[in-house]
Chains A and B, each alone.
Chain A
Amino acid sequence: MTAMHELTLTGMRDGLHDGRFTARELTAHLLARIEAAQPRLNAFITITADAALAAADAADARIKNGSARALEGLPIAHKDIFCTDGVRTSCGSRMLEQFVPPYDATAVALLADAGAIVLGKTNMDEFAMGSSNETSFFGDVHNPWREGLSPGGSSGGSAAAVSARLVGAATGTDTGGSIRQPAALCGITGLKPTYGRVSRFGMIAFASSLDQAGTLTRTAEDAALLLGAMSGLDPRDSTSVDAPVDDYVAALDAPLEGLRIGVVQEFMGEGLDADYAVAVRAATAEFEARGATLVNVSLGNIGLSVPTYYVVAPAECSSNLSRFDGIRFGHRADNPADLEDLYRRSRGEGFGAEVKRRIMTGTYVLSAGYYDAYYLQAQKVRRLISADFARAFEDVDLVVGPTTPTPAFGLGEKTDDPITMYLNDIYTIGANLAGLPAMSVPCGFVNGLPAGLQLVAPAFGEGRMLAAAHQYQQTTDWHQKAPGGWS
């Protein structure tokens, strides 16, 4: 019999409904794995064992009396960026080390209403600013595939937890690749929906025109299940989109025949690891063998996506993070001389180095004399990049390429050079700038480490994208590979 933790989220659901195990048994089993893994992976910031077991008992009662909801009893974790009523929400920062929100994020509430059980809050780069999980105040997360390597970031704890079979699925957020990049580096499936598809209410803001919540799962089928429960219009988020939510699970059966897939030429050249390129080519060949048509597409301005992002995102971050003033919530400096000293020292002590760098960058590009040259110019280049995607989608249904330039890198390897770290998101940032749905699926291995294939769809094309990923996962088994020692 397959061990409970080996099952996908969908498999866990079937096991619960078939009476093979109870939600309490499943929850207790995974909590024990989380506890055992914590000294090695550090994937969690907070573990909510008592609340999870109580919720599991309630789920068992519902399953027994026939009132089970879509995600009844399914064990998940939330990235510690989502506010959870009564449960500490740190955002990976000293600033919020003691912060206990008095309300739930909408995504958290929706998943709870669907019956999901939260086992804890996962580690992350501070305020989601990082690509390696090394900027967390709560310490590095290790990659389950090889300890000592980064799991990616910023949703590194969520990715490591799903990869190591500690939870059935996890939430994450993606501002420039923070779901897809760690999913690729940890060998799992990560999905960032269209901008505005999932409410940002209660999701601590980093860059509001780019931030989007999504899923980290083992399979596309699980992503469809989870995304359906999280999505929809929220009156509390004025950027949440008033468009019907498709039945993503029902959409999975769409065949690959007739699908036109664009391979992004700019992503397949210089900078991409040669063995990684082989894995991506094999994946596109699989799509072609299953009846899809491959087309070469060009995104002419995509080379400017990283510098565009590192103007737009810090500008928005410098504005968003001004709310942390040491007064209403968050870290407060001792014995301030005056109000100005309270602000500056509370923020100086509460924020880590990368967060301060981004606030300073944002302040610089928005300041008098530099606004036009940097911020306004970045917004214009953003439109050029978005238009490149729009042109590509006139001819193809999806565009694909690698998710990252290399597989997982060593902890400490890139921390001294912010630019090198920023370039890690070179293939993922474009979808955020254009607001498009995108996902990463496992597509092979490079030196024993997972590689990811990225798929990008037109706005609100999640159903078609998930179907393509699901069909790919029907004839490949990369997504079933577990890191050694965690199966």
Chain B
Amino acid sequence: MSIGSDDIEKLAVLARLSFEGDELGDITDKLAAIVAFVDQLGEADTASVTPMAHPLDQVQRLRADAPDADIDRARLQACSDATEDGLYLVPRVIE
């Protein structure tokens, strides 16, 4: 399966990534090489094999659905470059 620049643009949109200048040619070449490398997985006979999602086959432990907020909003929002009145700022979405 070859990967072309159209595929890269589609994937970049899905991944919400931008590529500038030489980056585009580089990612096209290297992603094609990586996909060619992982293609060898197709050689394995897995017809009767159950997929493995957890390395120890354990189920996810759930906790009680109770509030556990021990970080105050001001400290948490100090990690952001753009907040106002306790809210995160983003570009206008609704005109």
Contact = CB atoms under 8 A, between A and B. Distances in A.
Interface of A: 99-103, 194-196, 209-210, 235, 238-239, 241-242, 301, 304, 307-308, 310-311, 318, 322, 325, 327-330, 332, 336-345, 347-349, 351, 353, 356-357, 359-361, 363-365, 367, 373-374, 376-384, 386, 417-419, 422, 432-436, 459
A212 B12 CA distance: 29
Contacts of A310: 34, 37-38
A102 B78 CA distance: 9
Contacts, number: 176
Nearest to B71: A102
Interface of chain A, helix or strand or loop or mixed?
helix
Given A363-B11, A384-B49, A301 B56 contact: no
B79 A100 contact: yes
Interface in B4-55: 7-8, 11-12, 14-20, 23, 26-27, 30-31, 33-35, 37-44, 46, 49-55
A430 to B, nearest CB: 11
A119 B37 CA distance: 41
B60 interface: yes
A339 B91 contact: yes
Interface of B: 3, 7-8, 11-12, 14-20, 23, 26-27, 30-31, 33-35, 37-44, 46, 49-56, 58, 60-63, 71, 75-76, 78-82, 88, 90-93
Given A328-B79, A359-B15, A380 B35 contact: no
B18 to A, nearest CB: 3
A384 B46 contact: yes
8 contacts: A209-B54, A242-B61, A304-B40, A307-B37, A307-B38, A307-B41, A361-B35, A422-B37
Contacts of A235: 63
Given A308-B41, A367-B11, A241 B90 contact: no
A222 B10 CA distance: 49
Given A238-B63, A239-B60, A345-B18, A209 B55 contact: yes
Given A338-B91, A386-B55, A381 B44 contact: yes
Contacts of A210: 55
A367 B35 CA distance: 13
A99 to B, nearest CB: 6
A102 B11 contact: no
Given A376-B51, A381-B44, A386-B55, A364 B61 contact: no
Nearest to B37: A419
Contact of A342 (B7, B26, B90): B90
B90 A357 contact: no
Contacts of A347: 15-18
Contacts of A318: 15
A474 B75 CA distance: 49
A345 B91 CA distance: 13
Given A364-B35, A459-B56, A356 B19 contact: yes
Contacts of B19: 348, 356
B79 A361 contact: no
Contacts of A359: 15, 17
Contacts of A379: 51-53
Contacts of A434: 55
Contacts of A340: 16
Contacts of A356: 17, 19, 23, 27
Contacts of A386: 52, 55
Contact of B76 (A102, A325, A341): A102
B44 A329 contact: no
A106 to B, nearest CB: 13
A432 B55 CA distance: 8
B49 to A, nearest CB: 4
A383 B54 CA distance: 10
A374 B51 CA distance: 12
Most buried by A among B7, B14, B27, B42: B14
Contact of B18 (A348, A363, A433, A436): A348
B52 A382 contact: yes
Contacts of A378: 38, 41
Contacts of B39: 307
A101 B40 CA distance: 41
A96 to B, nearest CB: 10
Nearest to B61: A238
A435 B82 CA distance: 40
Contacts of B46: 377, 380-381, 384
A325 B49 CA distance: 37
Contact of A304 (B23, B26, B44): B44
B42 to A, nearest CB: 7
Given A339-B91, A360-B15, 10 more contacts: A102-B76, A103-B71, A195-B56, A304-B44, A337-B91, A364-B11, A373-B42, A380-B44, A381-B44, A419-B37
B52 A329 contact: no
